[in-house]
Structure 1
């Protein structure tokens, strides 16, 4: 069984591709790459087809994560049929997703940092208008949540 996870932010060039890349690295580290399909998307269409922000790429590369091949796309209704977890980076994106969500969606629609176990922050802040340190902070938060998410997936879906 493959579990499908979608990370969502506003434009899909900073936070959600960072989450996608870091979670893929976490799966590789734990030998679970074949068990989970990962993607990312944005609620807005401004950056469709573009690579992640250069600052996100650089911050991830400093931790051995390569985001260069990722391309932005916009969330669509089919995502609710295809993904078991749809994880928003902030409340605004979560509200936008809730408005798109069909009544028969059976998956998890929630904030990604709900999996961060004890994090004082509930939202992954958008680093777009800030400096380099914002991108490093996003990676720190995403790393905490990625470990909690993987533990949840293993417990609920991958009992081997």
Structure 2
């Protein structure tokens, strides 16, 4: 009988993270699978959704690149964010500012917990969460202090490129970004 390796963790309660992209067919499922792989035995619940209607499969290049990274995306079927109880997530990470704007327009009470992946990675560098502080109330306090300009306008620096119609190298570039993001996010959650 295989025993799952339990990671030592500073997390005292389950942290729920939701990734959102346009169709939940490329970026957000890849980010979800990558963070799940890196989570080990930590109490993380990771999910993904899209702004468009669901039931789409991950593109063939995405499945192949996922396999290279130890991720099985073959069974993934996209789902629309309206199928998700979005309020239950402690942190909502999008792939573009327009995704964040759409979520916040529909759910303004979530604004402090909604970031693009790249925004959050930068923001978290300057905002260390105390060990064992509950994530949601801490984010609702500190995330609400961000300038509203972070949601306005488009910014390429905050966009994770969509590899939808691209060859494997574009998928690998995206996968590299999510590998680094997952490591940073887990370290930040652990208070390291």
- Length-normalised TM-score, structure 1: 0.82
Q: Could you tell me whether the CA contact under 8 Å between 2:104 and 2:111 is conserved in 1? A: no
| TM-superposed deviation, 1:115 | 4.3
Does 2:97 match 1:91? yes
- Is the partner of 1:76 in helix, strand or coil? helix
CA distance in 2, matches of 1:129, 1:146: 24
Larger Rg: 2
Which consecutive residues of structure 2, in runs of 5 or more, have no partner in the other structure? Answer: 1-12, 126-155
Give me the CA root mean square deviation: 2.3
Aligned to 1:12: 24
Give the alignment of 1:1-160 within 5 angstroms.
1-28=13-40, 31-32=41-42, 35-45=43-53, 48-76=54-82, 79-103=85-109, 105=110, 108-116=113-121, 121-155=157-191
| TM-superposed deviation, 1:125 | 0.4
| TM-superposed deviation, 1:43 | 1.0
Aligned residue pairs total: 148
Which consecutive residues of structure 1, in runs of 5 or more, have no partner in the other structure? Answer: none
Q: Could you tell me whether the CA contact under 8 Å between 2:19 and 2:47 is conserved in 1? A: yes
Deviations 1:78-129 (A, max 9, x none): 53321011100111211211212242x38621011234459x9432100112
Larger deviation, residues 52-61 vs 93-102: 93-102
Higher-helix-fraction structure: 2
- Is the partner of 1:113 in helix, strand or coil? helix
- Length-normalised TM-score, structure 2: 0.69
CA distance in 2, matches of 1:141, 1:2: 24
